[in-house]
Amino acid sequence: MTTIRQIIEVVGNHYRVTHDQMAGEGRTDRVAWARHVAMWLAREEGWSELEIAALFGPRDRSTVNYAVNRIRGLMLMDATLNLELTHLQKLLEPCQE
């Protein structure tokens, strides 16, 4: 299983956001988006909301739940987003070996 830290690294590199920014209080669009994508990927990998929240700073499971549901909802309407998320999942495949 891919670790949450590996997910944060891949997503951070893709969106040019550091782990500290994702775990911090920042709410800029770029940071919040990267955080939400990383949370969604971690949930897709099977991590619990509590495990994910613990690595994203002072957050609780409802924050993770919101992020995951937001990404899932947007995926239903945006084919480009689906391609982008599929690309990120492929980047994580070597981490699973």
CA 59 to CA 19: how far, in whole Å?
14
Convert the pLDDT of each residue in 22-72 to its tens digit: 999 888 999 999 999 999 999 999 999 999 999 998 889 999 999 999 999
Q: What is the pLDDT of residue 97?
A: 66
pTM comes to: 0.94
- Which domains, and CATH codes, for the chain? 4-96 (1.10.1750.10)
Exposed, middle or buried: residue 51 (CB in 10 Å: 0-12, 13-18, 19+)? middle
Q: Is 48 left (phi over 0), alpha (psi -120 to 50) or beta?
A: beta
